[in-house]
């Protein structure tokens, strides 16, 4: 299929309407329904490892998912393509080796930490995005995607994690947590270095993409973020530390990234012990990207922290059935409305038929309309 054929599949008015609906819901302005972003993540019958190791195959898989999404999804879809070689790019730039499990469906990770004594952090040198670790491969593939896909197809950023997440990959696990108490100066030194590298990587990524506005956001999220809200930092480690530790070892370094790209989201699959601190970054951010499975029990905490101003962007990323996704979205509505908006991201794969995907959208859409009708919007007196 050629790019001109993709143009023939695209309903540009509908795409622009979907983008405006996202702008409105991020700003807590009234919408007719909460956007439902079904993510079609097929792999053309290939294993995850085969796709990751072959850039041309990665392109063909993205193209097929894009075509299928344009053809099937009735509404709310903003087209995107995604370069993804694993979550551990920054760690590889410092020399951490990549680990592949025997199971070709398992994502790659870090084979072993390279720091087993915190004094080692002082001998680390600052890597270069253009030549170190997996970053050059990310940039090469992103340039290919930027060139081959039409300009109206957005590109997701790379899965660079966050400063504390990268420290988790680099430092032996027990040592990371004891260093927060016993050797905080060394951990701050490492966090400072990692943050500088992450900012440089985002700058290189934006250049390879053709500009910030070509991106869904600066990191891994596939749902298009409105202009001025492109920031994104992953911080799954904050699920395992106290709010005070989050304030000390996460937030100051996340802030440095959000200072460059204001607004946007923090990712943590869940749970969320530091939820009350999420939005109050400097500058403030807009919400959390999370996994429904690991956030379900935390929704009351998020309701209290996010009321009238924060978004919960929840992925159904654990092979949930259609019934489980619809029930989960209804539970989010019943738990969070009228105070907090939750945007569902159902994820489907090659095993789903076209009819099943369409039926899923309309079942979620029914909840989405009820949810929007039950919300208290800014014009109803909610202030951001």
Q: Report whether pLDDT(238) > 80.
A: yes
Q: Report whether pLDDT(165) > 50.
A: yes
Residue 5 confidence (pLDDT): 83
Q: pLDDT tens digits for 94-114?
A: 999 999 999 999 999 999 999
State the average pLDDT over residues 277-300.
Answer: 98
Residue 45 confidence (pLDDT): 95
What is the rounded end-to-end Cα distance, in angstroms, of the chain? Answer: 45
**Entry pTM:** 0.95
Residue 3 confidence (pLDDT): 53
Q: pLDDT tens digits for 200-211?
A: 999 999 999 999
Task: Please choose, from the candidates 172, 69, 85, 83, the residue with its C-alpha nearest in 3D space to the C-alpha of residue 121.
Answer: 172
- 313 strand-pairing partners: 289, 343
**Residues whose CB falls within 8 Å of the CB of residue 26, separated by 6 or more in sequence, listed in order:** 225, 226, 229, 286, 311
Tokens of 128: 């270069």
Tell me phi and psi for residue 253, to 5 degrees. -85, -35
Residue 384 confidence (pLDDT): 44
Do 190 and 170 meet the contact criterion of CB atoms below 8 Å apart? yes
Q: pLDDT tens digits for 291-348?
A: 999 999 999 999 999 999 999 999 999 999 999 999 999 999 999 999 999 999 999 9
Q: Residue 90's pLDDT band (boundaries 50, 70, 90)?
A: very high
DSSP one-letter string for 145-175: HHHHS-TTSEE-------HHHHHHHHB-HHH
Residues above pLDDT 70, as percent of the chain: 98
> Which H or E run contains 130?
none
Cα→Cα distances 32→35, 78, 102, 161, 224, Å: 9, 17, 47, 34, 19
Q: Report whether pLDDT(151) > 60.
A: yes
Q: Residue 1's pLDDT band (boundaries 50, 70, 90)?
A: very low
Task: Please choose, from the candidates 183, 101, 203, 70, the residue with its C-alpha nearest in 3D space to the C-alpha of residue 142.
Answer: 203
Do 187 and 194 meet the contact criterion of CB atoms below 8 Å apart? no
Q: What is the CA 219 to chain-centroid distance, rounded?
A: 6
d(C-alpha 76, C-alpha 74), whole Å: 7
State the average pLDDT over residues 118-144.
Answer: 98
């Amino acid at each position: 299929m050629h790019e001109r054929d993709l143009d023939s599949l695209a309903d540009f008015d509908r795409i622009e309407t979907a983008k405006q609906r996202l702008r409105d819901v991020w700003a807590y302005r009234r919408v007719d329904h909460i956007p439902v972003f079904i993510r079609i993540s097929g792999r053309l019958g290939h294993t995850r490892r085969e796709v990751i190791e072959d850039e041309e195959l990665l392109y063909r898989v993205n193209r097929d998912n894009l075509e299928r999404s344009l053809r099937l999804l009735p509404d709310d879809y903003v087209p995107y393509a995604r370069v993804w070689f694993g979550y551990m790019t920054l760690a590889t730039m410092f020399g951490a080796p990549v680990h592949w499990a025997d199971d070709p469906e398992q994502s790659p990770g870090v084979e072993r930490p390279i720091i087993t004594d915190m004094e080692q952090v002082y001998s680390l040198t600052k890597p270069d995005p253009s030549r170190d670790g997996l970053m050059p491969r990310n940039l090469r593939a992103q340039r290919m995607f930027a060139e081959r896909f039409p300009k109206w197809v957005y590109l997701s950023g790379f899965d660079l994690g966050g400063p504390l997440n990268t420290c988790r990959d680099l430092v032996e696990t027990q040592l990371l947590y004891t260093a927060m108490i016993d050797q905080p100066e060394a951990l701050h030194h490492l966090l400072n270095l990692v943050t500088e590298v992450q900012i440089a990587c985002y700058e290189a990524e934006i250049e390879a993409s053709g500009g910030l506005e070509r991106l869904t956001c600066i990191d891994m999220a596939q749902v298009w973020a409105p202009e001025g809200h492109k920031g994104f930092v992953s911080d799954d480690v904050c699920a395992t530390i106290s709010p005070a530790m989050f304030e000390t070892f996460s937030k100051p370094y996340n802030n440095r990234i959000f200072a460059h790209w204001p607004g946007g989201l923090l990712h943590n699959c869940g749970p969320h012990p530091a939820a009350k601190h999420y939005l109050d970054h400097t500058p403030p951010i807009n919400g959390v990207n999370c996994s429904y499975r690991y956030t379900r029990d935390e929704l009351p905490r998020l309701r209290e922290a996010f009321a009238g101003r924060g978004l919960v962007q929840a992925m159904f990323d654990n092979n949930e059935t259609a019934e489980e996704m619809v029930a989960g979205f209804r539970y989010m509505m019943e738990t969070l409305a009228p105070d907090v908006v939750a945007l569902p991201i159902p994820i489907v794969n090659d095993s789903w038929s076209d009819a099943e995907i369409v039926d899923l959208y309309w079942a979620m859409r029914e909840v989405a309309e009820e949810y929007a009708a039950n919300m208290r919007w800014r014009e109803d007196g909610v202030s951001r």
